[in-house]
Structure 1
Amino acid sequence: MTSPLRLLACAAALSLAGCAGTMTMGDHGAKTVATGSAGGANAQGANQQLERCAKPLGTLTIVEEANQPWLYQLTQEYHVQSTVPLLRLIMQQSNCFVIVERGRAFNNMQGERELMARGDLRKTSNLGKGQMVAADYTVTPSISFSARGTGGGGAAIGGMLGAIGSLVAGSLRSNEASTMLLLTDNRSGIQLAAAEGSAKNWDFGAMGAFFGGGFAGGGGFSNTPQGKVLAASFMDSYNQLVKSVRDYQAQAVDGGLGNGGTLKTN
């Protein structure tokens, strides 16, 4: 039989979750907000909040700057190896860009061409020159802010429920992340767009443990990795990027780009 104490705590937590939302984007039952699959222009099971395009705007590759501190934090603290697979799934599902391989698999592609050049492959393999597609654009991801346990809900719940409220508030913490995507034109080197995104989730961990794991949904929220919040933040960044380039207007400088500009010195 469920005790009144447990019911009261559950009601308080669920009420707060309904107000604040346990995750700003996506399905709580999914590993991340990036769900489903993509094949060509078709997407299956994609997040309903993902921005989509009727047709692609061009080809694109994703490059992580390996010397950035955020990448070390991503791999060492959150045990997420790279943002690239996540972003590639999101971008192909959106149908706004065609993804071009320039990562580790590119080395395998080059290896196959070397085998072809040495005559080790069948003549019908057709891995000759002139078949690779150029990347029109490059996207560079970065994490501008990420923190655990950055907030709590003590005052409001404590005022409503006294001692039980203090227990709930003490176990309630938020995980937050802010990310950025930069879009560069590969031919001119001009930055075409920049977009920031953010996400937050709530952790009810200690309260679930206090009730012996009987709290409905407690384990799912308390075990949510920081990587899940980062995934939601990157999807938000990408959505903002798509919105900015749908109605893109090129910047113009009098006299032409790269010809000295209009800010002259004496």
Structure 2
Amino acid sequence: MLIDHRAAIPAATLALSCAIGLLLAAPAQAQTAQQQRAQQANQIPTCAQSLGTISVAEPPGRNWWSGQQLASPTAVIKVYVSKSRCFTLVDRGQGMAAMQAERGLASSGDLRGGSNLGKGQIRAADYVLVPDLVAQNANSGGNSIGGLLGGMIGNSTAAAVVGGLNLKRKTADVVLTVTDMRSSEQVAMTEGHASKTDLGWGAGAGLFSGGFGGGGATGYANTEIGQVIALAYLQAYTDLVAQLGGLPGNASAANAQQAVTMQKPGRLLKQADGRGGAVRELDVGMMLYPTGNRSELMWEVDDELGNRGWVNSTLFGLSR
């Protein structure tokens, strides 16, 4: 039987062409997947409900941002908090100072009647968030600057970071910490890293297209090093939101009750109705710790010696 080689050659050529096409398509598909991952990683996370109220504090130590014509990193963090709707943001900066000045006018009687501006209206912050750089490198020839030492993170990877901000290589390693304002417990600490290469694939294009200007963080959108720092903080903030998903819905109720101080002499009773007599006498100035149990005007409390009993709430006030 004779084989027609003229028919076989096109078939072989076609197979080879298909193989080459698959090899060329694989990097293109990988590139597309990488691009998609980069874009997804640089989106501000959103929450269905607020995790509580939060204030954003200035980083401790030296001012590293003004030398790069950047605003404080708190401006970036406030943009993330506002757009994510994961926290209710309370102002403890310039807005707070302006508010206090307005309240000064109210207390001096200079405001119109019915202004509804007075005591007991300021919303408490459940948490405070502090942004900073991870590390400071003394051997960088002035190219790396930072605030916190990497060893404070408690992570070998973080401790090995060369510098918090490398201006030459355009890299940034940052950290975010969240502290409970009532208990002083540090409820979360997250790190973020970004480099100039992360600005490729169009990653972060949507992030920098708007919003930073209105938040006073224009430099972070308009400069390369600013974009790198912003992406590093976004990574840390995204991890932060994931960590804090288990926070109590009511941070105030979940914390220990505020202490009270006796303002009039009284007695610590064994039962709310007075039956069983008294545990001890209570003098003016003694501090008590409510357990949360109440029966009309009677509150269950512990004293500083560990005694538990009931006391009339008209005899004490909140400790200051």
Structure-1-length-normalised TM-score: 0.56
Corresponding position: 1:136 with 2:126: yes
Aligned counterpart, 2:252: none
Mapped to 2, the partners of 1:203 and 1:196 lie a distance apart of: 16
**Larger-gyration structure (1/2):** 2
- How much does 1:202 deviate? 4.0
Task: Trace 1:1-266 onto structure 2 (pairs within 5 A).
Answer: 49-66=43-60, 68-69=61-62, 72-76=63-67, 78-144=68-134, 145-150=164-169, 175-202=170-197, 224-248=223-247
Mapped to 2, the partners of 1:224 and 1:50 lie a distance apart of: 19
Instruction: Tell me the alpha carbon deviations over residues 162-183 of structure 1, each in whole angstroms, 9 at most, x when there is no partner.
Output: xxxxxxxxxxxxx211111001
Contact 1:80 1:227 in 2 (8 A): yes
Spell out structure 1 runs of 4+ moving beyond 2 A: 24-27
Contact 2:42 2:231 in 1 (8 A): no
Indicate the SS of the match to 1:135: coil
- How much does 1:48 deviate? 6.8
Mapped to 2, the partners of 1:118 and 1:140 lie a distance apart of: 35
Aligned counterpart, 1:258: none
Q: Structure 1 residues 136, 239: closer, same or farther in 2, change over 3 A?
A: same
- How much does 1:245 deviate? 1.1
AA paired with 1:86?
Answer: V
Unaligned runs of 5+ in 2: 1-27, 135-163, 200-221, 249-320
Q: Structure 1 residues 110, 229: closer, same or farther in 2, change over 3 A?
A: same
Q: Structure 1 residues 26, 63: closer, same or farther in 2, change over 3 A?
A: farther
AA paired with 2:78?
Answer: R
Mapped to 2, the partners of 1:108 and 1:91 lie a distance apart of: 22
Contact 2:50 2:88 in 1 (8 A): yes
AA paired with 1:54?
Answer: A
Mapped to 1, the partners of 2:175 and 2:190 lie a distance apart of: 6
Q: How many residues align?
A: 167
Unaligned runs of 5+ in 1: 1-14, 28-46, 151-174, 205-222, 250-266
- How much does 1:134 deviate? 0.2
- How much does 1:104 deviate? 1.8
AA paired with 2:53?
Answer: T
Instruction: Tell me the alpha carbon deviations over residues 61-116 of structure 1, each in whole angstroms, 9 at most, x when there is no partner.
Output: 011134x13xx22112x111211221111111111100011012211100000101
AA paired with 1:194?
Answer: M
Mapped to 2, the partners of 1:115 and 1:53 lie a distance apart of: 38
Q: Structure 1 residues 26, 62: closer, same or farther in 2, change over 3 A?
A: farther
Instruction: Tell me the alpha carbon deviations over residues 24-74 of structure 1, each in whole angstroms, 9 at most, x when there is no partner.
Output: 9669xxxxxxxxxxxxxxxxxxx97211111001000011134x13xx221
AA paired with 2:87?
Answer: F
AA paired with 2:241?
Answer: V
Indicate the SS of the match to 2:106: helix
Q: Structure 1 residues 247, 224: closer, same or farther in 2, change over 3 A?
A: same
AA paired with 2:225?
Answer: Q
Q: Percent identity?
A: 33
Contact 2:44 2:238 in 1 (8 A): yes
Q: Please tell me the root mean square deviation across aligned C-alpha atoms, in Å.
A: 2.9
Mapped to 2, the partners of 1:103 and 1:25 lie a distance apart of: 34
Indicate the SS of the match to 2:114: helix
Mapped to 2, the partners of 1:48 and 1:243 lie a distance apart of: 15
AA paired with 1:176?
Answer: T
- How much does 1:198 deviate? 1.2
Q: Structure 1 residues 137, 55: closer, same or farther in 2, change over 3 A?
A: same
